[in-house]
Amino acid sequence: MSDFIPPGSTVGVLGSGQLGRMFAIAARRMGYRVHTLSPDYDTPTGQVADREIQAAYDDLDAVRAFARGVAVVTFEFENVSAAAAEAAAEHAPVRPAGSVLHTTQNRLREKGFLAGAGFPVAPYATVRSLDDLTAGLADLGAPAVLKTAGWGYDGKGQVKIATPAEAAAAWEAVGGQECVLEAFVDFEREVSVVGARGLDGSFAHFGVIENRHSRHILDVSIAPAAVPPSIEKEAVAIARGILEELGVVGVLCVEMFLTRDGRLLVNELAPRPHNSGHLTFDACVTSQFEQQLRAITGLALGSTDLLRPAAMANLLGDLWADGEPDWAAACRFPEVKLHLYGKAAARPGRKMGHLTALAGTPEEALERVVAARAAARASMPGRRPALSSL
């Protein structure tokens, strides 16, 4: 196949966080070299990559130079401009394509795509003014959630509106920028499907994963999710349809609500590996990161079989509040795996790492990973001071 990019080639990653780090680990294990570009230095990805380039994403000359030095470009961070994707595409294939990035990095474009293609979404309204917001609340009712159209993740740029009287305050809270107003969804649980699509159109998925959040940030993920087979089949079909409709080559995560009356509603898309799929690094024959590599280089997609039920717990900067966590205590759980991202500064809400646990059942895996995280949190004499908040 002419599009095949063999081991020994160099892959380029726009973005330099923990997703790129785990992608780089998978790529180097398979014999690929990795270059990364981002505005930062000594990054989670850069610590593992062969080459780290520090440049702004809107420095298009730097992006073009970066792309000239690699065989293919991919993303680990979707808040990269469409112009940067286009500049990279002048010199190397970009996978997923910049058009996928353009659609999924803006909530209004994403909602419009999903609704227009017939995928199930919660009722929503476009908001570009306080008058639009007032009209949207009159139409959708309250409570509702106001979300900025762009540059939002982990609950950032979101305001819950309990009554129409809160409209002005909510509009001020989001800075008066373009938003989407979504009807509040009374859901039973949140789930996700991480899917991959190859150059030849082949599709693979990691099943349905249940996600539980705290303060709008993913706290734990459990696989497989405790949903009926019919829901699992429907969720996978929705994910496959979205990847095919977008023409994705690579990995994309579809986040969904399962409502109390048994309906699935698509919440958001992430055109890259996803936090909820981190457990695949330890729990599956092929991780989401290796799958991303396989897809963008033209290799056959790997098996996604779950070796054992698993659960993942995020390690946020809050865990460092009283000093360095007790990793020895966490690692006393023999079926728990520790992943730290190499970030120098711990801040509340910042994702610093995660734990994955394997067990005989999803419930046992969840209990085990939560216990290991609690053990790491326990204070112990002589621990190092907490990291700075810089």
Given a contact cutoff of 8 angstroms between Cβ atoms, the answer to whether 222 and 290 are in contact is no
Is the pLDDT assigned to residue 1 strictly greater than 60?
no
Given a contact cutoff of 8 angstroms between Cβ atoms, the answer to whether 331 and 109 are in contact is no
Cβ neighbours of 70 (radius 10 Å): 23
Express as a percent the part of the chain with pLDDT over 90.
Answer: 91
Task: Round to whole Å and give the CA distance between 12 and 297.
Answer: 11
AA letter at 322: D
Task: Round to whole Å and give the CA distance between 195 and 326.
Answer: 35
Q: Tokens standing for 127?
A: 């908001």
Q: Which residue has the higher pLDDT, 96 or 382?
A: 96
Closest Cα to residue 101, out of 205, 204, 240, 248? Answer: 248
Task: Round to whole Å and give the CA distance between 225 and 114.
Answer: 24
Given a contact cutoff of 8 angstroms between Cβ atoms, the answer to whether 52 and 41 are in contact is yes
Closest Cα to residue 164, out of 148, 142, 193? Answer: 142
pLDDT at 387: 39
- Write the pLDDT tens digit of every residue in 123-146: 999 999 999 999 999 999 999 999
Q: What are phi and psi of 146, to 5 degrees?
A: -100, 125
Task: Round to whole Å and give the CA distance between 32 and 10.
Answer: 6
- Write the pLDDT tens digit of every residue in 27-85: 999 999 999 999 999 999 999 999 999 999 999 999 999 999 999 999 998 889 889 99
Given a contact cutoff of 8 angstroms between Cβ atoms, the answer to whether 249 and 209 are in contact is no
Is the pLDDT assigned to residue 389 strictly greater than 60?
no
pLDDT at 150: 83
- Long-range residue pairs from 327-330, CB within 8 A, at least 24 positions apart, any chain: 327/376, 329/375, 329/376, 329/378, 329/380, 330/355, 330/372, 330/373, 330/375, 330/376
Closest Cα to residue 75, out of 61, 48, 59, 93? Answer: 93
Given a contact cutoff of 8 angstroms between Cβ atoms, the answer to whether 21 and 342 are in contact is yes
- Write the pLDDT tens digit of every residue in 241-251: 999 999 999 99
pLDDT at 134: 97
Report, as an integer, the average pLDDT of 227-255.
Answer: 98
What pTM does this model have?
A: 0.94
Pick the CATH number of 10-94 from 3.40.50.20, 3.40.50.1370, 3.30.565.10, 1.10.3720.10: 3.40.50.20
- Write the pLDDT tens digit of every residue in 151-160: 666 556 789 9
Given a contact cutoff of 8 angstroms between Cβ atoms, the answer to whether 335 and 303 are in contact is no
Distances (CA, A) of 122 to 137, 234, 257, 263: 14, 17, 9, 11
Fold observed for domain 187-377: D-amino Acid Aminotransferase; Chain A, domain 1 (3.30.470)
pLDDT at 270: 95
Is the pLDDT assigned to residue 388 strictly greater than 90?
no
Q: Which residue has the higher pLDDT, 176 or 2?
A: 176
What does the buried/exposed string (b/e) look like for 53-63 if buried means 16 or more CB atoms within 10 Å of the residue's CB?
beeebeebebb
- The residues spanned by each domain of the chain are 10-94, 123-183, 187-377
- Write the pLDDT tens digit of every residue in 283-342: 999 999 999 999 999 999 999 999 999 999 999 999 999 999 999 999 999 999 999 999
Specify the residue for token string 């009159």: 138
Work out the end-to-end distance of the chain between its first and last CA atoms, rounded to an integer number of angstroms. Answer: 48
123-183: CATH homologous superfamily?
Answer: ATP-grasp fold, A domain (3.30.1490.20)
Q: Which residue has the higher pLDDT, 150 or 260?
A: 260
Specify the residue for token string 């023999």: 334
